[in-house]
């Protein structure tokens, strides 16, 4: 069934995959991307097809990137676009995610997409993500993201960019964070990763929920 189909996509020349692409379009990209096996078919197509073959399908996937990255199967399709898509496609995905960056960073599945965007989004994409996270306020502030279970891994990922001003800005946000966030085990882990020592305070060490 679907396992065989994914193998076929891997071994067939890209020119011979048009029929499969048409079947996906007929079924509907939204349904296929959110299906446990359908998402794998899309992943293989993204890997092995040429841009002009997939243009219409990828346009739709990019347009729904924010919604799909929150889905337990759809997120893998968006991660694949970031890893295997062209530069313009990767930039387009990042652009769709930017308005919701802090929320997505704290989301169980979408946080993996944000990490992938930091790895494959290019310098401009990385800087755009960093600015979105640093400029967020209130319940989406960077310190809140750092104190959340999944967002903490995104904030740690920022250190891997090896950009001095980014590390300095993150450290400043963590240092200025409200004391109640220090109780989060996630926040403590992030602070340690950035070489910060937090003031001792008794309290619950449970990680804040996103």
* Cα–Cα distances in angstroms (integers) from residue 15 to residues 19, 93, 136, in the given order: 9, 26, 45
pLDDT tens per residue, range 162-201: 899 999 999 999 999 999 999 999 999 999 999 998 876 5
Nearest 5°: phi and psi at 208?
Answer: -65, 140
pLDDT tens per residue, range 8-57: 676 666 776 788 889 999 999 999 999 999 999 999 999 988 888 999 99
Percent of the chain whose pLDDT exceeds 90: 79
Class of residue 95 by CB neighbours under 10 A (exposed 0-12, middle 13-18, buried 19+): middle
Query: Which DSSP helix (H) or strand (E) runs through 71?
Result: none
* Cα–Cα distances in angstroms (integers) from residue 205 to residues 31, 135, 139, 151, 164, in the given order: 40, 27, 19, 16, 30
Identify the pLDDT of residue 203: 46
Please give the Cα distance from 40 to 75 (Å, whole number): 11
DSSP string, 8-67: HHHHS-GGGGHHHHHHHHHH-HHHHHTSTTHHHHHHHHHHHS-HHHHHHHHHHHHHTHHH
Reduced to 3 states (helix: H, G, I; strand: E, B; else coil), residue 208 is: strand
Beta bridge partners of 148: 208
Q: Which of 49, 43, 48, 37 is nearest to 61 (CA)?
A: 43
Please give the Cα distance from 158 to 119 (Å, whole number): 10
Neighbours of 25 (CB within 10 A): 13
Q: What is the pTM of this model?
A: 0.88
Please give the Cα distance from 55 to 39 (Å, whole number): 17
Reduced to 3 states (helix: H, G, I; strand: E, B; else coil), residue 120 is: helix
């Amino acid at each position: 069934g679907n396992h065989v189909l994914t193998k076929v996509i891997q071994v067939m020349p890209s020119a011979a995959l048009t029929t499969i692409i048409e079947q996906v379009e007929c079924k509907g990209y939204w349904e296929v991307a959110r299906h446990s096996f359908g998402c794998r078919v899309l992943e293989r197509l993204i890997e092995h097809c040429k841009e002009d073959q997939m243009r219409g399908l990828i346009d739709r996937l990019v347009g729904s990137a924010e919604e799909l990255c929150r889905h337990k199967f759809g997120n893998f399709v968006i991660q694949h676009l970031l890893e295997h898509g062209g530069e313009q496609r990767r930039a387009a995905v990042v652009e769709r995610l930017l308005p919701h960056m802090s929320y997505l960073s704290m989301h169980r599945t979408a946080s993996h997409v944000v990490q992938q965007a930091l790895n494959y989004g290019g310098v401009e994409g990385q800087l755009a993500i960093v600015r979105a996270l640093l400029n967020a306020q209130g319940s989406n502030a960077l310190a809140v993201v750092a104190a959340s279970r999944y967002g903490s891994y995104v904030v740690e990922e920022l250190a891997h960019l090896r950009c001095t001003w980014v590390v300095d800005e993150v450290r400043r946000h963590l240092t200025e964070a409200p004391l109640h966030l220090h109780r989060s085990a996630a926040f403590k882990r992030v602070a340690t990763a950035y070489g910060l020592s937090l003031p001792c305070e008794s309290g619950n060490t449970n990680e804040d929920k996103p």
